[in-house]
Homo-oligomer: A and B are copies of this chain.
């Protein structure tokens, strides 16, 4: 039984590669999907497609329209969602993706460091499972197959 897992979170480092590698080592039949990880492409895609915009406000909205469409398509195809939070970045997009997944009844695993317990308490309570590391998140996925 193959599962598709959406990896929500910041796109400033390659944490998703970690996830995929560990899952591969464990031979888990899981396909991972996620947002555009090339950060400048993610920011520029709007203007790349429809042309230069009057200001950053419109530039950001044009890019977000396309990024959100991509997320919607992939999230719909997903069986489980992993949402990773770290101490850097606002990550409101991550919170939005996690909350949307939960509202759509998609099981969601939250990964967050101990230092973020308090600001993430409500989302954590709603999420199916909350862990602190990528390894733990994959263990939860692996458990589906045990």
Contacts and interface: CB of A to CB of B under 8 A. Distances in A.
10 contacts: A48-B139, A50-B131, A64-B124, A65-B125, A66-B140, A69-B109, A69-B129, A90-B119, A96-B99, A100-B103
Interface in A60-96: 60-61, 63-74, 76-77, 79-80, 85, 89-93, 95-96
Considering the complex of A and B, which 10 residue pairs feature the smallest CB-CB distances, nearest first?
A103-B103, A90-B119, A95-B95, A64-B125, A54-B54, A99-B99, A60-B121, A96-B99, A69-B128, A93-B122
A27 interface: no
Copies, count: 8
Interface residues of A, number: 75
A131 B85 CA distance: 27
Given A68-B125, A103-B104, A73 B144 contact: yes
B104 A49 contact: no
Interface string A32-73: 010010100100010011100011111011011111111111
